[in-house]
Each structure stands twice: as C-alpha cells, then as structure tokens.
C-alpha cells in the first residue's frame, strides 16, 4: 500500500531490514489498555466515546518508526494508547475497514455485544443490501 516492497513482520522475519510490524516494547498479552479514539473515525462512531478500555493478547504491533509514514497514507491511525502508540488503524475511503491490535471479541458478551463488531455487521448489512440492489439492476458485482 505504501510501496514498501520489502515490508516484513518481525515474528516471521526477525532479521529483515524493514520490519513494519515489530515486537512491542512490552508484551500486551492478557493486559488491558485505555485507547484514545480519533473523533470522526469509524471506531469513534462505533463506540460513541473518545476513550475506551480494551483487552489485548499480542506481542507485536506497528513499528513506531513507520507511524508517520503509515498515517500519511490511506490507512489512518484512529486509536492510540496513552503513550501514543497505534492501536487502531482504518481506511478512510472504504465502507468499513478497521484493524485493531486488541481483541474485541474476547470482551463481547450476549448482553453486551462489542460496539465495533456491531458497527462491522451494520456495514455488512448495508453492503449486502446494496449488492442485492445492484444485482437486481443486472449489474455484475
């Protein structure tokens, strides 16, 4: 996406020169963090709040060295921890494209479905409807 041909993940390519995804300074396995959400983002619309608490289960994340480069592209950093490290990214010109470093599904409960997952399924419903309408009009999708 950013034209970085040798982009690598430190978990599978620990010696690679361009590790976009690198080992976190501190493991987040089993931890919770406060996330600040950027106003106007999909995440913000889903939560309806600018500060949320989420559960993590990971050891790798966006390499802070690439933070600015990523944020200048189409993928925007829309959630950060209190230290400013990327925790949510999303595409601005896409109906719904959200990636989180935390694991929202773990904190979902029948009586308290996770707002991001509800927003995701709402986008899926809209997509299903628009696709059906296009097909009915005879357009190939």
Partner 1 sequence: MKPLKVGIIGDYDPNLLSHIPTNEALGHAGAALSVSVHSSWVPTQSLANGFDGSTLKRFDAIWCAPGSPYKSMDGALRGIQFARERGWPFIAT
∠ CA 85-91-92, rounded to 5°: 110
Cα(48)–Cα(108) distance, integer angstroms: 17
Q: Does 19 bind partner 1 (CB under 8 A)?
A: no
Q: Which span sits near partner 1 by CB under 8 A: 32-40, 62-70, 78-86, 120-128?
A: 120-128
- Give the list of residues 6+ apart from residue 105 with CB closer than 8 angstroms, or none: 114, 117
Cα(133)–Cα(103) distance, integer angstroms: 34
Q: Which span sits near partner 1 by CB under 8 A: 33-41, 61-69, 77-85, 108-116?
A: 108-116
Q: Which two tokens stand for residue 81?
A: 């921890």
Q: Which span sits near partner 1 by CB under 8 A: 31-39, 62-70, 78-86, 114-122?
A: 114-122
The SS3 call for residue 13 is: coil
| CB of residue 30 to partner 1, shortest distance in Å | 9
Structural contact between residues 75 and 1, judged by C-beta atoms closer than 8 angstroms: yes
Cβ closest to partner 1, residue 49 vs residue 57: 57
Interacting residues toward partner 1 by CB under 8 A: 1, 9, 11-12, 57-58, 60, 91, 94-100, 102-106, 108-110, 112-114, 116-118, 120-125, 127-128, 131, 141
């Amino acid at each position: 996406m950013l034209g970085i041909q040798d982009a690598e993940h430190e978990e599978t390519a620990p010696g690679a020169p361009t590790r976009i995804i690198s080992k976190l300074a501190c493991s987040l396995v089993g931890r919770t963090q406060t996330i600040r959400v950027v106003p106007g983002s999909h995440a913000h619309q889903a939560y309806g709040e600018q500060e949320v608490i989420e559960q993590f289960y990971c050891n790798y994340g966006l390499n802070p060295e690439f933070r600015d480069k990523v944020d200048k592209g189409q993928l925007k950093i829309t959630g950060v921890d209190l230290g400013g490290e990327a925790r949510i990214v999303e595409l601005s010109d896409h109906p719904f494209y959200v990636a989180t470093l935390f694991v929202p599904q773990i904190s979902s409960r029948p009586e308290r479905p996770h707002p991001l997952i509800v927003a995701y399924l709402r986008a899926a419903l809209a997509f299903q409807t628009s696709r059906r309408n296009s097909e009915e009009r005879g357009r190939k999708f």
